[in-house]
Amino acid sequence: MIQGGMIMVRFLIGRGHDGPARIGQIEIGSIKLKSPLIMGPSSIKPDIVSAVKDKMEYETPSIISLGSIFSKTNSFNEEEINSNLFLLPSLPSASFLKDSDITAVLELQLAALVEVNPPNAIVRIPSSISTMLLEEYVKKFHEQGVSGAIFTFNGDYGRNDLNNILLKTKLPRNWLILSTGKILPATVPLLFYLGFDIIDAGLGEAAAAESIRLWSLSFEKIDSKDTPRFCACSACHNHDDLSLLSQSQLEEVLRAHNSIVYRSVLSECVSSMKQGKLRWLVESFTHAGPSLTGLLRQVDNQSYDFLEEFTPTTGKSVLPLIGPESYNSPAVRRYREYLADRYKPPETKKIVLLLPCSARKPYSDSKSHKRFSNIIESAIGSKNRAIAETILTSPLGVVPRELERGFPLANYDIPVTGFWDAEETQIASDLLVNHMKKFDESTVIIAHVSGGYLDIVKNAEPNISQSIIYTTGDESASSRNSLDNLRETLTDVTQVLDIKGGRPTSLEDTLRATADFQFGPGAGALLIPPDAKVGGKVYGTIICRLDKEQLCAFIGSTGHISLTLAGAQRIAELQRYWVRFEGDTVKGSTLFAIGINDADDAIRPGDEVIILDLKDNIIAVGRSEMSGREMCDFDNGRAVSIRHKVG
């Protein structure tokens, strides 16, 4: 084995964390490259050159394919070995592999490691390999010092491509991941989102040779019979009509244009990630074709755990949910699962009031919800503490009023038309059925909803044990008649149920529900005990103190609870959201992953976390910047932003 130079792949994961996508730094010998990168033949001027040659002529590092049939004729000098990446050899017919061939391919690659420096080697992963065999060989390669893998896409978004993606999710997070094969520009956002660091744009060159101009969502064959399409890119801008060019000129222009399209899409990905909108971009691009849309649905369905682990739990940017691709996006599905697993209604609630969502978020700030709130106030005054206001919305389903300021509830943006498709209606009514199981059977439901919202309730009704009173007739929930009806119904029902007024509970309700949501069941009761003093405004900040000591604060603008050290002490017994720091004292305002080898693997980017020392003492609290598993696996990068620390 040749020792010497090394490749270091460093992933800098900061606040831009948005799904498994990442921005990194790849160090090959003395050259540092920022990932994500576009790979391709030298003629398209990529970030990193893919070369099949056995000698390199380029100044930038190349990705060299060791020939199909590995032989000693591949001989590189030491400098070449250390300053390039090497794709380990494959069998000539690697796309039609039987089980025994898969093992042979992997063994061939293991054997080839003697010719290269293992840290510079990239393993080819056959798309038909089983997860078990993959894990066995990843271990073998890892032991040899390999930490890079490449997957070959055939571009039909079918079984092969889906397998590649599912296999990729099983690889260590600190490996460098490459994709090659037929990759159209429209596929780039999905691959980047999934954590591919180097993306092959070689298809752009092949397309150019066939007079094909690629666009971000489509492509065209240059033909003199068609009206010339306008492009202002540096390659096309001097040529109003490409069909007038000679074949060789055309090919050159198209090569450059196609390469620009890949770059432009990838740069949009990076910028969307920094704004927390990468998922939206991925969904938008999958509309390039039904098979790509289908692929994303399969990926969402089959690798939810992987996607969810890297999806932040807090954020300030607007989250556009534009269609069916959003129904099961990780942030949306996680909300529904947390609601089912973590939400517990406050004990004072005797009536569930179902309301429609509003375009404006949080809903309380909308005109319609202000109107609802005035009606409740004027009809029953302080008896409103018995009302569980519950908002129906797509694709999140059911939102208790106490949680409306949290993420992604205060951030999502959907077209509010009142029309719901069958899938949306089913998702929401299933959630409503489960939600109502958390309330006593004597609870009365007042359904102040119409249109699609009414369909949800009607659809759920056969499976709900509580009685439901409808207040809108055929009119909208905001009509004069509907509102009068709501007022009368509230008055009647509170009388029939003999509900008494009392001290308002909305501050405690919001704090406890948010605490349960963030830290899991039981956290609300521990963090906001009955004898705590709670003060503030739901719209601003709510502070909870016990014996004059602050335990936590709810920040209305983020819907998020931040802990004090005393608050962390109160919920420590739950043994959740902890990070073990190997040092004695936390210095500065950042905890880096290098000091962490153990953390709760339920931690997601954006979570409020508790820092423990090796003796289980609480030494700090803060906000996580990466997932719990990443904190343990990475030895660089910002893991936690510290809020409070001991001393």
Residues lying near Zn ion in the complex (CB under 5 A): 231, 233, 235-236, 257
Which residues does residue 20 pair with via DSSP β-bridges, in sequence order? 18
564, 614 in Cβ contact below 8 A?
Answer: no
Q: Specify the residue for token string 């490449």.
A: 150
Closer to Zn ion at the Cβ: 257 or 349?
257
66, 47 in Cβ contact below 8 A?
Answer: no
Give the list of residues 6+ apart from residue 571 with CB closer than 8 angstroms, or none. Answer: 515, 519, 523, 526, 527, 563, 610
Give the list of residues 6+ apart from residue 547 with CB closer than 8 angstroms, or none. Answer: none
3-class SS of residue 172: coil
**Interhelix angle 99-112/131-143, nearest 10 degrees:** 10
Closer to Zn ion at the Cβ: 235 or 410?
235
The CB-of-234 to Zn ion minimum distance in angstroms stands at 8
Bond from prior residue into 36 cis (ω within 30 degrees of 0): yes
3-class SS of residue 314: coil
Residues 280, 282, 284, 290: is their CA dihedral positive or negative?
A: negative
The CB-of-47 to Zn ion minimum distance in angstroms stands at 19
Closer to Zn ion at the Cβ: 79 or 220?
220
Closer to Zn ion at the Cβ: 134 or 214?
214
Q: Specify the residue for token string 């000591």.
A: 549
The CB-of-179 to Zn ion minimum distance in angstroms stands at 24
The CB-of-42 to Zn ion minimum distance in angstroms stands at 20
Closer to Zn ion at the Cβ: 113 or 236?
236
The CB-of-49 to Zn ion minimum distance in angstroms stands at 22
Dist. CA 257–CA 229, nearest whole Å:
13
Phi, psi of 559 (to 5 degrees): 65, 25
The CB-of-551 to Zn ion minimum distance in angstroms stands at 59
Closer to Zn ion at the Cβ: 216 or 479?
216
Dist. CA 472–CA 475, nearest whole Å:
6
Closer to Zn ion at the Cβ: 231 or 375?
231
Dist. CA 255–CA 257, nearest whole Å:
6
The CB-of-250 to Zn ion minimum distance in angstroms stands at 12
Dist. CA 196–CA 22, nearest whole Å:
8
Dist. CA 399–CA 431, nearest whole Å:
10
Dist. CA 400–CA 389, nearest whole Å:
6
529, 546 in Cβ contact below 8 A?
Answer: yes
Closer to Zn ion at the Cβ: 1 or 244?
244
Give the list of residues 6+ apart from residue 115 with CB closer than 8 angstroms, or none. Answer: 2, 66, 70, 72, 74, 75, 76
The CB-of-258 to Zn ion minimum distance in angstroms stands at 8
Closer to Zn ion at the Cβ: 112 or 231?
231
Q: Specify the residue for token string 């001027």.
A: 45
- Please measure the distance between the N-terminal and C-terminal CA atoms of the chain and give it in whole angstroms: 50
The CB-of-202 to Zn ion minimum distance in angstroms stands at 18
Closer to Zn ion at the Cβ: 88 or 231?
231
The CB-of-231 to Zn ion minimum distance in angstroms stands at 3
Closer to Zn ion at the Cβ: 249 or 417?
249
The CB-of-233 to Zn ion minimum distance in angstroms stands at 3
Closer to Zn ion at the Cβ: 235 or 511?
235
The CB-of-155 to Zn ion minimum distance in angstroms stands at 22
Bond from prior residue into 362 cis (ω within 30 degrees of 0): yes
Q: What is the DSSP letter of 18?
A: B
Task: Report which of 225, 276, 295, 221 is spatially closest to residue 254, judged by C-alpha positions.
Answer: 221
Closer to Zn ion at the Cβ: 220 or 377?
220
The CB-of-370 to Zn ion minimum distance in angstroms stands at 51
3-class SS of residue 546: strand
Q: What is the DSSP letter of 216?
A: S
Dist. CA 490–CA 480, nearest whole Å:
15
Q: Residue 339 CA to chain centroid, in angstroms?
A: 18
The b-or-e profile of 215-248 (16+ CB within 10 A means b, else e) is bbeebeebeeeeeeeebeeebbeebeebeebeee
